[in-house]
Structure 1
Amino acid sequence: MKTFDAKRLMDIEHIVFDWNGTLLDDIELAVKSVNLCARRFDVASVTRERYREAFHFPIASFYATLGFDLERTPFAEIVQRYLEHFDANVAQCPLHDGVTALLDAAADAGVGVSVLSASHRDTLTKVLDAKALLPRFAHVVGLTHNLATSKTAEAALLQKRLGGEAARTLFVGDTTHDCEVAHSVGWTPLLVSTGHQTAARLLSSGATVLNGLGELLPTLSGERAAIACRKEGLQ
């Protein structure tokens, strides 16, 4: 994995985080929920490894890859079954290691933070509130439906709300789609391999890939602190 270039962080004014798989460690719940659907619709179950190797957007295409017959069973019906289990349990999923420390470091450095997710915005808001994280984000953006098609349009709207130079926003995600979303609006992408796709899949995007959020913390804390010191003539 590549170390994130601290010099690139010097110009970052805002960090947008994906939610599922990036800040929230929900991979086990997602695999279990998919396998409940598999049993219901007569499809072979998947392992965690198979899930991470196959996962991609749009989610309907991902299910087709796993063997679901979307002509026989409408995707909306599969999603409904999935969410019956996932939404009932997602608030119990833990945060990934380093989330709180990273948000603290961003606040100390004067870097704004927001969330952009393919989750339904109502569910997203509820879970963030349950985790006592909702007040920490300037903007929380989710979808208005449960089909998880893409979040490119929502990213464009968020960029308008953020204003400023798009390249000065860092988008941290866990899928190649997150890299595509970042490029679509001019954000700087950064991917972590602790979520819904394997490191090999992520590296194929050409983006910097970290083993976890903790690898970003020293860069954010150390580099921004050094910048502040230089501005104040302390070094």
Structure 2
Amino acid sequence: MKNKIKHLIWDWNGTLFNDVQLSVDIINNLLKINKLPQITYEKYRDIFTFPVSDYYKLAGFDFNKTSFEILGKMFMEEYENRKYEMNLFNGAKEILELVRSRGISQSVLSAYKYDTLLEVLEHYCISEYFESVSGLDNIYAGSKEHLGIELRKKLNFHKSEILLVGDTLHDADVAKAMDVDCVLISNGHQSADKLKANGNLVLSDLSELKHLL
């Protein structure tokens, strides 16, 4: 893989943007409102999955009592109000700059709502690093596989020259659908044990990525 990469595709939430604790806090607020047991940080990373509706069920919600649409809207309202309490992962800007300095183009592929994604990239002053940004047209964080397939069509590189970096098994599934390589970072929304289950290449944090470029 080393020295062949010409384009790097970044996931956003949990990969470049450290919003894991915020997500735990908000889901626990929703659980409390619905008189359900709280979950720990560790349990959150063990049960988080895509589509997000499945993870809500694992957290204990009953959609017959409160619909996923209502819960998802409540989650995102609080998330949007508090998102700037969080920050980029340590070393995120440094790795973005390193990738650019080596002549590797970059893009963002996210299940986050597209227009809001553009806003946060501007807020954290990293928009300049990306030649394209792909996000969903809604707040419910479903699959981004179709976005990945569309992005792949636009990239004029051999599959061996593209690397997707994410923090969930869904990112690995998206990379497979795109027919490109994938590296997962284990300090995001899913635990290292969960990420390694399918034989994925898993790194502890962003700093380890530099050894693959």
- Please state which band the TM-score falls in when normalised by the shorter chain: over 0.9
Distance 1:135 1:40 in 2: 40
- RMSD of the alignment, in Å? 1.1
Unaligned runs of 5+ residues in structure 2 are none
2:28 is matched with which residue?
35
- 1:108 to partner: Cα distance: 1.0
Asked if structure 2 preserves the Cα contact closer than 8 Å seen for 1:101 and 1:217, the reply is: no
Query: Which position in structure 2 is the counterpart of 1:50?
Result: 43
Residue 69 (structure 1) shift: 0.4
In the alignment of these two chains, the number of paired residues is 213
Q: Secondary structure at the match of 1:150?
A: coil
Q: Is 1:59–1:148's contact at 8 Å kept on the other side of the alignment?
A: yes
Q: What letter is aligned with 1:66?
A: A
Q: Which residue of 1 aligns with 2:143?
A: 150
> Which residue among 195, 198, 207 is the counterpart of 2:200?
207
Map 1:47-196 onto structure 2 (within 5 A). Answer: 47-196=40-189
Structure 1 contact 179–205 (Cα < 8 Å) conserved: no
Alignment TM-score, normalising by the size of structure 1: 0.88
TM-score, normalising length: structure 2: 0.96
Farther off after superposition, 102-111 or 38-47: 38-47
Aligned to 2:18: 25
Residue 107 of structure 1 and its aligned partner are, at CA, apart by: 1.0
In structure 1, the residue corresponding to 2:9 is in which secondary structure?
A: strand
In the TM superposition, what is the alpha-carbon distance from 1:85 to its structure 2 partner?
1.1
Alpha-carbon shift at residue 48 of structure 1 (Å)? 0.4
8 Å contact from structure 2 (residues 6, 157) kept in 1: no
Structure 1 residues 188, 219: CA separation in 2 closer, same or farther (over 3 Å shift)? closer
Shift of 1:41: 2.1
Task: Say if 2:187 is the partner of 1:198.
Answer: no
Unaligned runs of 5+ in 1: 1-7, 221-235
The DSSP-based 3-state class of the residue aligned with 1:163 is coil
**Percent of residue pairs identical:** 34
Q: Helix, strand or coil: the match of 2:18?
A: coil
* Greater C-alpha Rg: 1
Rounded Cα–Cα distance in structure 2 between residues aligned with 1:76 and 1:167: 39
